[in-house]
Amino acid sequence: MNNIVPLVPAMRAKVRCSSVIVHETCDEVEFNPVCKSTSYGDDGLDEDNTFAKYSPSGSFKLTIANPELLGKYRPGQVYYVDFSPVPEPEAQPDQQD
């Protein structure tokens, strides 16, 4: 039986850093999808509006312990986050002694 599951397509999200809590050895950084605090133009053509249409709500929090990244994230900064599926490892044949 073939148990291959098709991979989910990659997705890009546009998020804004909403908070940073600084600790001695790490930063806790929270992100939320972008949206405008003001109204969109009549045509609705705005990159934030396009992203908000397809990912209208959510949040995620990361604890960052990489010394080179500590202090690099600031509330209000906007980032693209790419989600790409990791392929399943190939099954190893049973080894017999």
Write out pLDDT tens, residues 56-81: 788 999 999 999 999 999 999 999 99
Quick check: 3 pLDDT over 60? Answer: no
**Higher-confidence residue: 29 or 56?**
29
**Mean pLDDT calculated for residue range 84-97:** 76
**Higher-confidence residue: 31 or 4?**
31
The overall pTM is greater than 0.85? no
| Mean pLDDT, all residues of the chain | 84
**Mean pLDDT calculated for residue range 13-22:** 95
Residues 63-76 as b/e (b if ≥16 CB within 10 A, e otherwise) read ebeeeeeeeebeee
**Higher-confidence residue: 3 or 35?**
35
CA angle at residue 28 from 34 to 15, to 5 degrees? 10
R_g (Cα) of the chain, nearest Å: 19
